[in-house]
Each structure stands twice: as structure tokens, then as C-alpha cells.
Amino acid sequence: MLKETLTVDLVTTDLPGSDKDQIIRALLDLICTTGKVKDPALALEDVLAHETGMSTGMEHGIAIPHAKTDAVDSLVACVGISPKKIDFESLDRKPAQIFIMTLSPRDGTGPHVQFLAEISRLLKDAKMRKQLLKAKSDEELLHLLIS
């Protein structure tokens, strides 16, 4: 699922932003480059509403802001590495640097769950997380994610 969903245009080793809101907006900007987001304002509204209900800051420097939204017809996702450590109200209270955003249609669950399961398995590995943070280019980051 990672190979089918991620391309070099949907990953970045230099995600701009210095707070949670800026990071979410930068991730959404990255996803919007696909042309698959019909209504970016609605997508942003849905992601922020989900964040308000429950932070998507996980553990180990990872955050996965996501939403089910009418702004897309199929799963779209991106991965960004921030050079800065961002307070994302994480479960372990530690700042995040690895960010994954997913947008999926309100009526679909299969691809969304499969993508999150694959990325979660990958990010459980501390060595892999370190490699992702050290990636020198978007191409290297993509290679680490899909190989």
C-alpha cells in the first residue's frame, strides 16, 4: 500500500513549520500537489476538527494527522520530516519530527486502515525512525519508506 500511495512528490525531508497548525497546513499543501483534493479548505477543516477531538501525536516523535473527508474520492497520503522538533501533544509528551498525513473518503476504510497498518509497522522500528530522520533527500526518504 505504501508503494501504491507514496511518490517522491508526496514526501519531504524539509517540512516547513514551527507549530502544529503550520505542520498540518504544510502537509496538506504537499497532498494538494496530487490534484486529488477537490476542496482543500474542507480537507483542512476536517483534519483540524479531528485534531481538536483527539491529538494524533503518537510516541517516538511521530504524528499522524488524518481525516475522513468529502474532499477526496480515494486515499491520499504524504510523509514529511521536520528539521525542527514540534509539540504535537503526543502521547509520550515528546515532540514530533516524523509526520504522516492521510485523507480518505468518509465511506471508505480498507485502504486507509491498510496504509496506517503498514506505516505503523515500519515506524515501530527505532533504527528505521533514525534512518528516516537522517535521509538527505526526498528520493532517499521514499526509498526507505517503500523498500
* Among 26, 17, 16, 13, CA closest to 134: 13
How many folded domains does the chain comprise? 1
133 burial type by CB count under 10 A (0-12 exposed, 13-18 middle, 19+ buried):
middle
Cα distance between residue 14 and residue 87, in whole Å: 17
Q: Pick the catalytic residue: 50, 60, 66, 143?
A: 66
Strands (E) in 2-65, as ranges, are 11-12, 62-63
Which CATH number characterizes residue 7's domain?
3.40.930.10
Going by pLDDT thresholds of 50, 70 and 90, the confidence category of residue 95 is very high
CB of 66 closer than 8 Å to CB of 43: no
pTM of the predicted protein model: 0.94
Residue 66 designated active-site: yes
Task: Give the range of the structural domain holding residue 45, as residue numbers without chain letter.
Answer: 2-146
Amino acid at position 35, single letter: G
> Is the pLDDT reported for residue 122 higher than 80?
yes
Q: Tell me the pLDDT tens digit for each residue of 47-84.
A: 999 988 887 888 999 999 999 999 999 999 999 999 99
Going by pLDDT thresholds of 50, 70 and 90, the confidence category of residue 86 is very high
Name beta bridge partners: 127.
Answer: none
Cα distance between residue 64 and residue 89, in whole Å: 12
Mean pLDDT throughout 79-100? 95
